[in-house]
Amino acid sequence: MSDLASLDTPVPVIDLDIVERNLVRMQNYANAHGIALRPHIKTHKLPAFAKRAVELGAVGITCQKLGEAEVMAAAGLDDILISYPLVGAAKARRLVALTALATMRVAIDNPVALATLAQAARDAKAPIGVLVEFDSGQKRTGVVSVAEALTLIAQVKETPGLRFDGLMTYRSTPATASFIQAVKDAGVDLPIVSGGGTPGWDHTHEVAGLTEMRVGTYIYNDRMMVEAGAATLDDCALHVFATVISRPEENRAVIDCGSKTLSSDPMPGGKIPGFGLILDYPDAIIERLTEEHGMVDLSQCEDKPKIGDRLQILPNHVCVVTNLHNDVVVSRGGLVEGVWPVAARGLTR
Ligand SMILES: Cc1ncc(COP(=O)(O)O)c(C=O)c1O
């Protein structure tokens, strides 16, 4: 097994011990509070990690895209929630194929998506579970009123081949509990109420009525999660290893990774600059990216890296970084254990 120092850069490197710790910690939390864990695989897109989470006790997985679900189902993951509305005949056909491989659930928030599921249900090999999504403050998908939820729930219940399984929202907030209670007060039985989000994950049990949590970023964590207080630097499992390739000025270094490696996601809120945290030089700021290179401001650094030095960078937003790479290096104790293809990357459909 080779040393990490021998890897060519730029390269994403995952520490398997940290991944395992993160998976176990979340499963223990879910177990302790009697909440089902349904991890979102969009962060890693690797069947091996999805399987490990299920082995540890997860009830199934969450996918954001049918393409991700197809890869996971082909790898043997047999309980999958697609957490966004599917619209159109092409999506219905693909969902039918998935019902032959896995127990499928889909979240919807409108009658057109319901019609897509109804179409799929006509040819499906098994009933399709439906979760009605409500908005608990993110202003993304999700019905915004209890009345809308109740109408949609009634329509789901009347549709042959569909099974109403409950509610879904992202993220879980105090507004979540009151919405759930209002639907229950209307006499609706809710076998599943699925909430989510790594930020605030350890408060999920305080949201009354949730039966399931969907978390994704927790497996690797990133600079955003550290700033949000959801993780420490020691909980971060994926780093991009890079090399300083130029020092044109006293206070400027250029590194061999840019937006195609680190993504151009900034830190939210506009207060923390830079496109990643350089672990050995926390005062350095990756202030600008071109596609393949990063310009680093060293003016606040006492020690400055020299040409040829290798840097370990914690990405701002790790899920996007995963999606940029065909493969990732997996490591343990500073040694390379393998190179894994990121099987479900780039599948935007
Ligand atoms: C619908 C849904 N569920 C769960 C998650 C997981 O959230 P996190 O990565 O914060 O754990 C996301 C993330 O975007 C999501 O969109």
pLDDT (0 to 100) of residue 1:
77
Q: What is the domain-level CATH number for residue 250?
A: 2.40.37.20
264, 232: one domain: yes
Q: Which helix (H) or strand (E) holds 158?
A: helix 146-158
What is residue 175's predicted lDDT score, i.e. its pLDDT? Answer: 85
Same-domain status, 151 and 209: yes
Say yes or no: 188 and 117 in one domain.
yes
Amino acid at site 47: P
* Bridging pattern class, strands 327-332 and 11-15: parallel
The CATH number of whichever domain residue 136 belongs to comes to 3.20.20.10
Distance 39 CA to ligand 1 centre (A): 9
- Residue 176 shares a structural domain with residue 298: no
Do 215 and 232 belong to one domain?
no
The last residue of a domain, from among 219, 247, 281 = 219
DSSP assigned state of 338: E
Domain shared by 232 and 215, yes or no: no
**Which residues sit with their C-beta closer than 6 Å to ligand 1?**
40, 43, 62, 83, 170, 196-198, 214-218
| Alpha carbon distance 208, 57 (integer Å) | 22
For residues 206 and 245, membership in a common domain is answered with no
User: Are 32 and 177 part of one and the same domain?
Assistant: yes
Residue 322 lies in a domain: no
Q: What is the chain's pLDDT, residue by residue, as a tens digit (349 residues)? A: 799 999 999 999 999 999 999 999 999 999 999 999 999 999 999 999 999 999 999 999 999 999 999 999 999 999 999 999 999 999 999 999 999 999 999 999 999 999 999 999 999 999 999 999 999 999 999 999 999 999 999 999 999 999 999 999 999 988 899 999 999 999 999 999 999 999 999 999 999 999 999 999 999 999 999 999 999 999 999 999 999 999 999 999 999 999 999 999 999 999 999 999 999 999 999 999 999 999 999 999 999 999 999 999 999 999 999 999 999 999 999 999 999 999 999 999 9
What's the count of helices (H) and strands (E) in the chain, helices before strands? 10, 17
* pLDDT of amino acid 70: 98
Q: Is 8 inside any structural domain?
A: no
**Both 106 and 28 in a single domain?**
yes
Task: Please tell me the distance between residue 106's alpha carbon and the centre of ligand 1 in angstroms.
Answer: 15
In a domain, 3, yes or no: no
Q: Whose CA is nearest to atom 1 of ligand 1?
A: 83
Burial 265-291 (b: 16+ CB within 10 A, else e): bebeeeeeebbbbbeebeebbbebbee
User: Are 154 and 210 found together in one domain?
Assistant: yes
49 vs 322: CA distance, rounded Å: 13
Residue 180 lies in a domain: yes
Token pair in block for residue 210: 């949730």
Ligand 1 pocket mutation pick from 215, 220, 238, 323 by most atoms within 8 angstroms of CB: 215
* Element housing 29 (H / E): helix 16-32
Q: Is residue 254 part of a domain?
A: yes
Do 37 and 182 sit in the same domain of this protein? yes
Report the number of distinct structural domains present in the chain.
2
> Do 108 and 255 belong to one domain?
no
Which residue range(s) make up the domain with 135? Answer: 17-219
